[in-house]
C-alpha cells in the first residue's frame, strides 16, 4: 500500500483528500500544525473511515521536523502539499506572514523530499495565479499575471520555484492543481469547512448566518461588470476536488507525468455570488439575511475554469451540482451545532 504524506491534512481540503486516498487504497499520513485547523477533523476522518490516521503535529517550515517525520515513516511514495495560509483579505493585511509560511513551507518540504529520494509531489495551487484574466474561461495556457493579493503571489512564486526545479536535473515530478473555489462538505457531514473565528470565505459565512451565528452575509460589491453586479466564481465541491488529488497521485505513481504539469480544477461554470446565495436558499429552504457592501481589496471581479485539460488527460470531471454542494455545507453546519449542543 503506497504511503502518501499529506501536509495540512487536517485542514478543509486536506481532510477530505485523506478520506478519498484511503477509499482509493492509499495510506495517508497527516502533517499539520493546527494553526488553521482543528483536531476535531481527525475525529471526523476516523468516524468516516472507521479507524484513525497517523498524524504528526509539526510545522512544515521546519526542515528538522520534516526530516524526523520522513525518518519515522520510512517509504513515502508521494506528497500532497496543502499546508498554507489561504485568506485573501488577511494576506493583504499581513503579507510577510504569508510569504514566510507559504513559500517557506514548500522550500523546506522540497529540500527534505530531495534528501529522502521522494520524487512525487502534488502541489495545492490556485486560480489566483491568473490574476484578473483578459479572457474567460481561463485555460492552463492563460498567462499567469501579477497577482491581485499577497496570497495569490505566494502561489505564483511557489509555481515558479517548482518550474525552476523541474528545469534543473532534479528527479522531482510535480502536478500543480489550480483550484477554483472549493465549497461544501463530506456527505456524511462529519468533516467540512471549519474556519477559526470569523469566516473569510463565502459559504461558511452563509451557513453561519443561516444558523444564527452571524447577523448577516455581506456581499462585497454589486457594481462589477457581471450579470447581477456581484463577483463571478467557479464553485467546486470539496469532495470532487479531493478526488482530483487522488487522480493526480495515480498519474505521478504510474510515471505518466511530465516533470511539471498544471491542471485547472473547477466545474467550468461561472456563478455570481448572488446566484450562490440564492442556490443555498433554494437547496435548504432557509432565507438568508444579506446586504451589499463595498468592494473588498484583492478580489478578482470574475474568473472560472476551462477544465478540458483535466478531463482529457486526468480523466477527471466534477459531478456535484451547486445546490447539492450548498446542501452538504448546510448539513455540516447542522452537525456542528448538534455536536456543540451535545458537548
121 phi, psi to nearest 5 deg: -135, 130
Residue 152 and residue 141: Cα distance in Å, rounded?
A: 17
Residue 87 and residue 92: Cα distance in Å, rounded?
A: 9
Kindly provide the residue ranges of all beta strands, DSSP E only, lying in the chain, ordered along the sequence.
Answer: 3-7, 27-32, 55-57, 78-81, 120-126, 173-179, 181-183, 217-220, 232-233, 235-237, 260-265, 271-272, 290-293
The grid coordinates listed for 47 are 468516524
User: 31, 10 in Cβ contact below 8 A?
Assistant: no
Q: Of 12, 98, 151, 304, which is the active-site residue? A: 151
Per the listing, cell 492563460 goes with 142
SS (H, E, C) 45-75: HHHHHCCCCCEEECCCCCHHHHHHHHHHHCC
220 phi, psi to nearest 5 deg: -85, 90
Residue 191 and residue 18: Cα distance in Å, rounded?
A: 11
User: What spatial distance separates the first Cα and last Cα of the chain, rounded to whole Å?
Assistant: 37
Reading phi first (left if > 0) and then psi (alpha if -120 to 50, else beta), residue 122 is in beta
Q: Give the H/E segment covering residue 279.
A: helix 273-284
SS (H, E, C) 84-125: CCCCHHHHHHCHHHHHHHHHHHHHHHHHHHHHCCCCEEEEEE
151 is catalytic: yes
Give the torsion through C-alpha atoms of 43, 47, 52, 58, to 10 deg. -30
Q: Which residues are catalytic?
A: 151
Amino acid at each position: 500500500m503506497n504511503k502518501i504524506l499529506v501536509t495540512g491534512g487536517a485542514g478543509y481540503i486536506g481532510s477530505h483528500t485523506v478520506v478519498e486516498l484511503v477509499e482509493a487504497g492509499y495510506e495517508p499520513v497527516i502533517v499539520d500544525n493546527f494553526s488553521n485547523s482543528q483536531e476535531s477533523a481527525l475525529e471526523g476522518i476516523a468516524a468516516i473511515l472507521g479507524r484513525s490516521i497517523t498524524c504528526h503535529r509539526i510545522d512544515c517550515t521546519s526542515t528538522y521536523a520534516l526530516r524526523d517525520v520522513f525518518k519515522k515513516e520510512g517509504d513515502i511514495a508521494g506528497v500532497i502539499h496543502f499546508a498554507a495560509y489561504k485568506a485573501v483579505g488577511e494576506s493583504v493585511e499581513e503579507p510577510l506572514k504569508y510569504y514566510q509560511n507559504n513559500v517557506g513551507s514548500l522550500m523546506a518540504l522540497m529540500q527534505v523530499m530531495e534528501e529522502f529520494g521522494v520524487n512525487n509531489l502534488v502541489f495545492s495551487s490556485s486560480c489566483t495565479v491568473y490574476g484578473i484574466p483578459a479572457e474567460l474561461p481561463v485555460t492552463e495556457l492563460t498567462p499567469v499575471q501579477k497577482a491581485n493579493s499577497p496570497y495569490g503571489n505566494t502561489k505564483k512564486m511557489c509555481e515558479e520555484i517548482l518550474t525552476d526545479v523541474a528545469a534543473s536535473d532534479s528527479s522531482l515530478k510535480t502536478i500543480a492543481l489550480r483550484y477554483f473555489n472549493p465549497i461544501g462538505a463530506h456527505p456524511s457531514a462529519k468533516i467540512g469547512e471549519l474556519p477559526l473565528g470569523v469566516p473569510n470565505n463565502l459559504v461558511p459565512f452563509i451557513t453561519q448566518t443561516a444558523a444564527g451565528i452571524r447577523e448577516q452575509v455581506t456581499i462585497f460589491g454589486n457594481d462589477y461588470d457581471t450579470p447581477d453586479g456581484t463577483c463571478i466564481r467557479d464553485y467546486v465541491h470539496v469532495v470532487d476536488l479531493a478526488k482530483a488529488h487522488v487522480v493526480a497521485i495515480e498519474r505521478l505513481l504510474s510515471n505518466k507525468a511530465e516533470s511539471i504539469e498544471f491542471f485547472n480544477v473547477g466545474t467550468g461554470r461561472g456563478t455570481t455570488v448572488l446566484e450562490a446565495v440564492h442556490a443555498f436558499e433554494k437547496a435548504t429552504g432557509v432565507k438568508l439575511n444579506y446586504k451589499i457592501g463595498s468592494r473588498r481589496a484583492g478580489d478578482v471581479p470574475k474568473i472560472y475554469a476551462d477544465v478540458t485539460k483535466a478531463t482529457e488527460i486526468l480523466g477527471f470531471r466534477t459531478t456535484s451540482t451547486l445546490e447539492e454542494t450548498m446542501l452538504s455545507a448546510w448539513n455540516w453546519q447542522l452537525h456542528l451545532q448538534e455536536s456543540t449542543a451535545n458537548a
